[in-house]
Structure 1
């Protein structure tokens, strides 16, 4: 409780600053000039530690983004890192040509419902063109993220986006938009990335049908735009060796020992949102103090290490993510449109980074069964959607099983999720649908509805893409997860 109270007090202090102090721009005409903290003061170490903890919680997602960009853009050309993850140089994009595989460690909680892409950009320095082919009736969305991990722009089937060429530009880009550009999308920060998601049924027929569409999802610098649709054969993308192996867990994108060396870049490239100016003033003061005083920097680093363990690590548990959704599930809150919701922004950056917006996807997740006990592969569970009570969506839905690290658990069936993409699910006589989860087979005639689990703790995760009103307003409740043996 002391830890929770300490974190709560620290964050409440930050929120109080945000709420009570108008922007510096508004106060510049006031007769009373706001004083700014002086880095030449002689601050006490405990004050610095308290502020360092707040800075670490607030800045964690953005340092995370900076380090992902540095890693992914080292690729010499669009390809597959270790044959698994789509990567590309800055200003381009890499695409998969099939579902992502269990060896992926770039981001936790991947899905096997879509074909993914990934690219990072510096949009002030180099605006890019992103191509939108004709997807027909297929669900698709290009999730575009700024440095805060907020989405920007609206490109996808839910928005009625037309095929064509779309220009992604930064907040300070002043160039001319050439003829032939279908639309312009501005990011609030120069650092941005794109993660296209294109739905694919789990059939050989659809795998073949999707290839010509996937090959037209190409991104390139504006200087290369000629009005002609470019293609890349992503099925022939080269394998690119990965110098940083991460084992069974996600790549460690934020290292607390280096955090305060990287934090100044966040303050430089990410402008404050309205109301954040006072918070930025405190953080810039902290950076100045740490530059001048090695002992205080050591103290701040110690606080970063402690905060990683005491505050960030617990966010990996679903009970600390979002809000209750019923039957011991939680659902995401403010996903990809965080604004000043630092709690959920940091929690999601740790547990399942790169969510879609709520209107694009709603996420439901649990670590426990209906009785509140940890899910474990040594047991078999039944998740039954009553007739007509599967997630109500305009797009598609799925139920995914993750191991204790929020990754796929390899199994002989190569099956990691079930849902709309599966054509062989068997329904019960009353029209309901039961999905089984566990390490052991649920029995003859039920294996088409089985999600194999590791013999250890695991999690379940429902995605509802392009949800209808009951998904959006929270009236749809996920089913109970019940032990059957």
Structure 2
């Protein structure tokens, strides 16, 4: 009994002592005479690294919105993309996109998903936070019948997830401004099947909940979006704080999540917090310095493409939902090319040079795979060529950017393949197996896409290398 009383007294002493402690001071920063935040190199680097995922997705989603006529719109591919696609780094030329850009502030939006006669279809959903989810995929037996999926967010007015008659799935997003993207293998080398898939794609549509229920749609409050940048680096230079304040107001944070807490803590001393209005007369940052640091980080992470072991190590955490990835991985994918599929749906190994040097258009290369070395894809595979600096297709008269089942390829007599990356097509090489480059001092990337990879075989499978000719 005496021990019990002693423990209670000790506990009370600690409790009283804790209550008498002065409150923990909020982290603050110094401001110079011109209103600019005085930040150490480490603080700038931390902010930049924690901002890339948001900046990249803001730039991508808003550029697409501008290009397709605004939010609550849907645009469907019916032709494979070419070098004029510059809205996103490292796009692909092996599948069609049907892109719905949703503004969920005023009311939910319903997406009508048709059934597809295709080896591969998936629905990929992401907000400004760049966390990726795939609620529907042929890998899981979806797209065998038409379905309706309703999207809403924490801030959707007068709706909190209640069932809607005729809707198959209610889906809560992590943000108000959302991209919901169907990725469809079009079977471009099968004319009749291709035609059928194109016609099916045209039946995809979106409706607001009001429209679906036969009422007038609710017009969302007009919003002034901060300017996008031609590149992500431009945002770091010109209007990072304005963009991040907007993003903070339109995504959901989880204070139990380590990465969410870290980015909120990094921006709070700068006056950027959820629920606030951006004050252009408030604290300023040195845009030139942020640009320089962002560019340095970008180059550092692009160089990691030459390390196939690192990408393999990151693959289980790439393009995942919150809590299933980490800063290093999401930073890497944001720089290499935002918006992708998790490894269960697709893997993206790089083709590096056999000599360990950077691939460059001043050289010609050949990539050889025997029958047993072909990518272990449950659906299909493709190999795509990009310029390294921007991640865009390399312009050429043949409009040839990839080798694969849709863009075409020819196996050799033994069931393997040789793919040539050259300025001029060798005379004995099939057109399908040639990827043209422009003879100039330009670093290039070659990326494989393996859809529905065989995980067991991927453990021992190695990506091919490009041999200098």
- The verdict on how the C-alpha distance between 1:320 and 1:288 changes in structure 2, with shifts beyond 3 A counting, is farther
Rounded to whole Å, the distance in 2 between the matches of 1:188 and 1:245 is 23
The alignment's TM-score, normalised by the length of structure 2, stands at: 0.78
Matches of 1:289 and 1:469, distance apart in 2: 42
Decide whether aligned partners of structure 1 residues 443 and 90 sit closer, same or farther in structure 2, where only a CA change above 3 A counts: same
Q: Is the 8 Å Cα contact of residues 59 and 266 (structure 1) preserved in structure 2?
A: no
Structure with bigger gyration radius: 2
The alpha carbon displacement at 1:183 in A equals 1.2
Which residue among 216, 222, 229 is the counterpart of 2:209? 222
Q: Superposition pairs for residues 8-157 of structure 1, below 5 Å?
A: 35-37=24-26, 39=28, 42=30, 47=39, 50-74=42-66, 81=67, 87-157=68-138
Does structure 2 conserve the Cα–Cα contact (< 8 Å) formed by 1:257 and 1:304? no
The superposition leaves residues 301-322 of structure 1 with CA deviations (integer Å, 9 ceiling, x where unpaired) of: 3441221222134333453787
Measure, in 2, the Cα distance between the counterparts of 1:287 and 1:275.
21
The structure-2 alpha-carbon separation of the partners of 1:213 and 1:68, relative to structure 1 and needing over 3 Å to count, comes to same
Change (3 A) 1:313 1:325: closer
Counterpart check, 1:431 vs 2:415: yes
1:111-137, CA deviations, whole angstroms, 9 ceiling, x for partnerless residues?
Answer: 111111223223343321111111034
Q: Which runs of 5+ in 1 are unaligned?
A: 1-29, 75-80, 82-86, 228-242
Q: 1:163 aligns with which of 142, 146, 153?
A: 146
Where do 1:249-268 residues align within 5 Å?
254-268=235-249
Following superposition of structure 1 onto structure 2, how do residues 12-411 of structure 1 map, counting pairs within 5 Å?
35-37=24-26, 39=28, 42=30, 47=39, 50-74=42-66, 81=67, 87-161=68-142, 162-172=145-155, 173-174=159-160, 176-203=162-189, 204-225=191-212, 254-273=235-254, 274-276=256-258, 278-280=261-263, 282-288=265-271, 297-299=284-286, 301-319=287-305, 323-324=309-310, 332=315, 334-337=317-320, 339=323, 341-366=326-351, 368-404=352-388, 405-411=390-396
Which sits farther off after the overlay, 451-460 or 102-111?
451-460
1:254 is paired with a residue whose SS is helix
Q: Does the 8 A contact of 2:125 with 2:179 survive in 1? A: yes
Q: Assess if the C-alpha contact under 8 Å between 1:370 and 1:482 holds in 2.
A: yes
State the shift of 1:475 in Å: 2.4
Change beyond 3 A, Cα 1:292–1:105: closer
List runs of 5+ in structure 2 lacking aligned partners.
Answer: 1-17, 215-226
How many residues in Structure 1 have an aligned counterpart in Structure 2? 418
Post-superposition offset of 1:463: 0.0
Worse overlay, 275-284 or 42-51: 42-51
- If the length of structure 1 is used for normalisation, what is the TM-score? 0.76
The answer for the alignment partner of 1:234 in structure 2 is none
Cα RMSD of the aligned pairs, angstroms, is 3.4
Q: Tell me if structure 1 keeps the 8 A contact 2:381–2:404.
A: yes
- How many angstroms apart in 1 are the aligned matches of 2:314 and 2:154? 32
